[in-house]
């Protein structure tokens, strides 16, 4: 009986140690910052997919929120208030993020319409525009590029 009780106690103790030592991957708060701690105890960095959504973590592992994020290779993404990187949608009426999450720049097709965004900051441009190659674009008041129409000066 004593042997059986000792074996059960040892098993319970080992089970407790195993459970305490297990770290689950999850979002954690560090002051006002949110980070994502992996199962091995490290923090994610860069653009990461978690449970079907994308998030961007800076070099310190802090999740970025409420604004534009520029990666080491110059790509720009928009992080919402909950940290999710947005895809295929307008940010206000000035910027657009494409289906890959990157900020639209230059001549960009959205649905069936063409728009021209600044090649430097990605802001939607309106009116009469010339690109770096000298191509002329004319837009309506919403920024939609006219195509298939001849204009007379």
Please state the three-class secondary structure of 75-125 as a single string. CEEEECCCCEECCCEEECCCEEECCCCCECCEEEEECCEEEEECCCCCCEC
Q: Which fold has domain 24-86?
A: left handed beta-beta-3-solenoid (2.10.270)
- pLDDT at position 150 is 58
- pLDDT at position 3 is 53
The C-alpha torsion from 76 through 79 and 80 to 84, rounded to 10°, is 120
User: Which positions ≥6 away from 2 have C-beta within 8 Å?
Assistant: none
User: Which positions ≥6 away from 72 have C-beta within 8 Å?
Assistant: none
Q: Which residues of the chain have pLDDT under 70?
A: 1-23, 149-153
The C-alpha torsion from 87 through 89 and 91 to 94, rounded to 10°, is 130
End-to-end CA distance of the chain: give it in Å, rounded.
Answer: 104
pTM of the model: 0.75
Q: Is 43 helix (H, G, I), strand (E, B) or coil?
A: strand
Give the residue extent of every domain in the chain. Answer: 24-86, 101-145
- For residue 86, the Cα-to-chain-centroid distance in whole angstroms is 6
Assess whether the region 24-86 and the region 101-145 belong to the same CATH fold.
yes
CA-wise closest residue to 33 among 48, 54, 55, 50: 55
CATH number of 101-145: 2.10.270.10
Q: What is the CA radius of gyration of the chain?
A: 26
- For residue 1, the Cα-to-chain-centroid distance in whole angstroms is 60
């Amino acid at each position: 009986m004593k042997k059986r009780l000792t074996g059960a106690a040892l098993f319970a103790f080992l089970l407790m140690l195993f459970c305490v030592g297990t770290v689950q991957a999850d979002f954690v708060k560090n002051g006002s910052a949110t980070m994502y701690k992996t199962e091995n105890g490290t923090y994610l960095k860069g653009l990461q997919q978690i449970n079907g959504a994308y998030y961007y973590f800076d070099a310190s592992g802090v999740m970025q929120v409420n604004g534009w994020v520029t990666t080491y290779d110059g790509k720009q993404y928009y992080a919402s208030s909950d940290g999710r990187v947005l895809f295929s949608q307008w940010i206000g009426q000035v910027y657009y993020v494409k289906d890959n999450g990157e900020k639209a720049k230059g001549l960009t097709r959205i649905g069936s319409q063409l728009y021209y965004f600044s090649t430097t900051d990605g802001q939607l441009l309106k009116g009469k525009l010339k690109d770096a190659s000298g191509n002329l674009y004319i837009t309506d008041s919403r920024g939609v590029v006219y195509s298939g129409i001849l204009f007379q000066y």
